Amino acid sequence: MQFSIGISKYLISVTLIFLPLSMFVSSTLTSTRSKESLLRCGQRTKNSSFYPNFVQVMESLAREIKEKHYATAYITYPPPLVYGLAQCHRDLSSSDCEVCFSASRKRAHSCLPADSALIFLDGCFLRYDNYNFFNESVNSKTDAVNCTAQFLEGDESLSQQFQLKFAEVVMDLTNQAKQNGGFAIVEGKGGISTVYALAQCWKTLSKQGCNQCLDTASDALKQCKDGSEGRAMLAGCFVRYSTERFFSSDNHSKDHHGDISKITIVIIAGVSAFTAFTCVGAFIGYKRLSKMKKGRISLGDGSRISSLNFKYEMLERATDFFDNSRKLGQGGAGSVFRGTLPDGRDVAVKKLFFNTRQWVDQFFNEVNLISGIQHKNVVRLLGCSIEGPESLLVYEYVPNRSLDQILFVKNTIHILSWQQRFNIICGTAEGLAYLHGGSGTKIIHRDIKTSNILLDEKLTPKIADFGLARCIASDKSHVSTGIAGTLGYMAPEYLVRGQLTEMTDVYAFGVLVIEIASGRKNNVFSESSTSVLHTVWRHYKTNRITQSIDPGLKSRFPENEASKVLQIGLLCTQAHVALRPSMSEVVHMLNNSYCVIPSPKQPPFLNSSAIGPADNSKGSSMSSFKSFVSATQDKNHSLLLQAFKPS
């Protein structure tokens, strides 16, 4: 708590001394215009392709709205359809428009995984949907009116005077907006009270559609005629009136002394608001740190937290606002972009958009586990940002893509030599051995595969993507978790019983080794070919194991070393945990040319249906799997057998 209070005092004192007074005024106006007027979320979607399309639409809107105060974007292929529209009210400055859009974008993320959302803030509008709504002026499913409490309640005479004033202002507003391209502000002075009003049509409407929306909105606001404030929020426009001035205008009359007084009041209010905001922020920071200490992020002292923090806006600029030309890759939880920091450093920015508790946990998990790890074969986390529309992770930039892209992408110009493959296998083994105990904490990666091995300029391998990783206490042999990972790399005891140990990573490493050496992907549901693990086992049993080596190498490899590597791969993929070596033992076997490699005792476990009808021998991997299932007596075995039986 002392840390948070100290931070708040420091922020307040520094801000009050050095921050220009104009920023207090701007901050106050912006916060007023970013107030939420209406938020409606649509139906939940289970289509996993929706999220990448949603993100692309939001990125396009963010780029375009900076220049024109409004933006449209849509994606029709690949499906599903996502259409987006954003617009700021014409009286907002460019900077206030960006702030308002950013606030509405955050609210849009709160609707995920809904396939649509409608957000009205007092200064801007944002909508996304699964159909083209750009020309809608009214929509009974989305249109809304919001009225405040009755004005001058109990005095019928004054109330009637106000109603006449209200009607006059709204009529004048509507007429001016129709003649002024869909925008108008009116100050109805005199009488019982000044009435301020604003109308704004969306740019996508035709003139006829805008006029229809304005007429419908003014009629709808009649139900608010007794209130001091009202908002009509329609599919194609926004109309608001209030007895308090809420917009920016250069056209209203000014009284010099009055302006000085107003500015003074705004400055005082701004200072008070900022002080309160900072104190609240410190309290929230304290609560957040408390949660971190209880199991989310444990980053140590304040200097450590500060060194990890990146500003969202800086990372936006570093990646050209997450431009597609800078995209390095994309997964189910988000995308990775290359960024260039102001100091010239290249970084990889992983952008996540959360719609489930699981994804939020993955973010905190990744920060918590690897923020302090420094090993040449583990990708280094430089920091994170959690304040923008999406949460961001910042990693060191690894220029040579992933191992998956080099090994398995067709027509690749780079065919890895045997020595390069051997070095990648050894480096990955050393990185995993470090994670399993060398760092002082036992970390299980849980998703070792070729796409999670990145290669630097010297083709040094670096283990990446710790979203699924878990820690195991030194006094526990395993932890039980829900099944997560990639089919083809998951060990049998984990698939069947959910038992997670370091041997889960050992199994995945064994698959990785065989893929690297053979140049073949372990396609677990391929019906056209025999499993690569089964092929290597068959060659091993007939003393022809080096025939499994990638033919692209054209026999340019040392046979003894290649044979040893494939045999280690088979050892790591044994169905029984006790038959697999630890990663430290694997490192020793790889680096010691005189080490005797134990013989695999059984075929590799195959979590696939890739065994052909002819593979019904007594020693087949499916027989081994059936024996394993029979021995473990788990209630899910019959389901697994059904899923993995030969085609």
The alpha carbon of residue 250 and the mean position of all alpha carbons in its chain are separated, in whole angstroms, by 41
**Number of neighbouring beta carbons within 10 Å of residue 565:** 26
DSSP category for residue 309: B
Crossing angle (nearest 10°) for helices 621-632 and 637-644: 170
Continuous H helices in 310-451: 312-318, 357-370, 403-408, 418-433
Residue from 447, 465, 550, 615 carrying the catalytic annotation: 447
463: closest CA among 395, 406, 384? 395
The alpha carbon of residue 398 and the mean position of all alpha carbons in its chain are separated, in whole angstroms, by 20
Radius of gyration in angstroms for the set of CA atoms belonging to the chain, rounded to a whole number: 31
Tokens for 337, please give them.
Answer: 């972009």
Which residue pairs from 319-327 have beta carbons closer than 8 angstroms and sit at least 24 positions apart in sequence?
319/349, 321/59, 321/62, 321/63, 322/59, 322/349, 322/351, 323/63, 324/56
CA dist 9 and 363 (Å) reads: 30
Query: Cβ distance 577 to 493 under 8 Å?
Result: yes
Query: Cβ distance 153 to 80 under 8 Å?
Result: no
25: closest CA among 279, 242, 273, 243? 273
CA dist 589 and 568 (Å) reads: 8
Tokens for 250, please give them.
Answer: 């250069």
CA dist 499 and 511 (Å) reads: 19
Query: Cβ distance 467 to 362 under 8 Å?
Result: yes
Continuous H helices in 464-525: 492-497, 502-518
273: closest CA among 30, 634, 558, 591? 30
CA dist 103 and 36 (Å) reads: 9
* Tokens 């980053």 belong to residue: 299
CA dist 266 and 260 (Å) reads: 10
Helix (H, G, I), strand (E, B) or coil at 327: strand
626: closest CA among 645, 608, 613? 645
Instruction: Look up 447 and say whether it is catalytic.
Output: yes
Residues listed for the chain? 647
Query: Cβ distance 33 to 314 under 8 Å?
Result: no
Query: Cβ distance 2 to 69 under 8 Å?
Result: no
Q: Return the half-sphere exposure (C-beta side, CA atoms, 13 A cut-off) of residue 155.
A: 9
Q: Is the peptide bond preceding residue 113 cis, with omega within 30 degrees of 0?
A: yes
Beta-carbon contacts of 294 under 8 Å, excluding residues fewer than 6 positions away, are none
CA dist 504 and 305 (Å) reads: 32
Query: Cβ distance 356 to 326 under 8 Å?
Result: no
CA dist 63 and 123 (Å) reads: 18
Positions annotated as catalytic residues are 447
